[in-house]
Amino acid sequence: MHFRESPGKPKRKGHNVKRRKVVVVEDEPAILQGILDMLEASGYEAAGAPDGEAGLDLSRRQGVDLVLLDLLLPKMNGLQVLAELRKTHPTLPVIILTARGAEEDRVRGLRHGADDYVVKPFSARELLARIEAVLRRSPERPAPVKAIKTATGTVDFDRSEIVFNSGQRTGLSEMEAGVLVHLATNPGRVVSRDELLMRVWGIGGANVETRAIDMHITRLRGKLKTPDGDNGPEWIVTVRGKGYMLGPDVTLVASEQTEPE
């Protein structure tokens, strides 16, 4: 399943127009196709999934801006998908789509973390208005992080290496760099071990062994020590019983800023 960009609204030469990406999780083929066509005609990139499991996987992919989620789905129902999605993407906008109009169902969806609720049947104009309203009030994604730095050195994500002030360089594995990138793209928030497993290793589910994460963090902290063995600033902070976050002395370097020396 891939995102399809609207053929009717091409990007103009010299302009970097970002198309919002929307995932539609709906098990009725006619409704799913109708929503996808409507989104693409309105300038969105859209991808669809016919069941809860496929929808969860698609929604967790890079760059998704919003999810339209039916409640009555095969394999996993909409509330189960929403609960799992909130473990790894707590701020991703989600609008519930369902034929259920009872207040109790609307409340359940909102309590599970949905941002809005649209009852079938709905018009294209109504759905687009809801999507635009939710996207407007959702926080903008920060600029991509190019590097992180402290008083002792810089982690360059483009080169996957640590550059210490002394000039010494230490390479990072793909997973080590992935851990730091994910922490850096979620500044000020504790990232759970389950979330790291899902976003960096691409695995998840109940009862997955998370001890590997702790061992990986230990090795990463060893690499972040200065060449003379001094611990220096704390790059990664452990929040007991919850997970990890970047230390208070770590500075983010966004992509548009100067490259680290």
Question: Where along the chain do its domains lie?
Answer: 21-137, 145-254
Q: Give pLDDT, residue 167.
A: 92
Considering the segment(s) 145-254 as one domain, its CATH architecture is Orthogonal Bundle (1.10)
Average pLDDT taken over every residue of the chain:
82
Instruction: Indicate the angle between helix axes 78-88 and 52-59, nearest 10 degrees.
Output: 20
pTM of the model: 0.56
CATH fold, domain 21-137, is Rossmann fold (3.40.50)
Dump the DSSP string for 215-261.
HHHHHHHHHHS-TTS---S-SEEEETTTEEEE-TT-EEEETTSPPP-
C-beta atoms surrounding 204 within 10 Å: 17
Torsion of CA 192, 195, 200, 202, to 10 degrees: 150
pLDDT in tens, 84-131: 888 778 788 999 987 766 566 667 777 778 888 888 888 999 999 999
How many CA atoms lie less than 13 Å away from 157 in the CB half-sphere?
A: 20
Nearest to 190, CA basis, from 85, 90, 82, 65: 90
Q: What is the pLDDT along the chain (261 residues), one digit of tens a residue?
A: 555 544 444 443 434 456 889 999 999 999 999 999 999 999 999 999 999 999 999 998 878 899 999 988 999 999 999 988 887 787 889 999 877 665 666 677 777 788 888 888 889 999 999 999 988 877 655 556 789 999 999 999 888 899 999 999 999 988 888 889 888 878 888 888 887 887 777 665 544 566 778 888 999 999 999 887 776 789 999 999 889 999 999 999 876 544 444
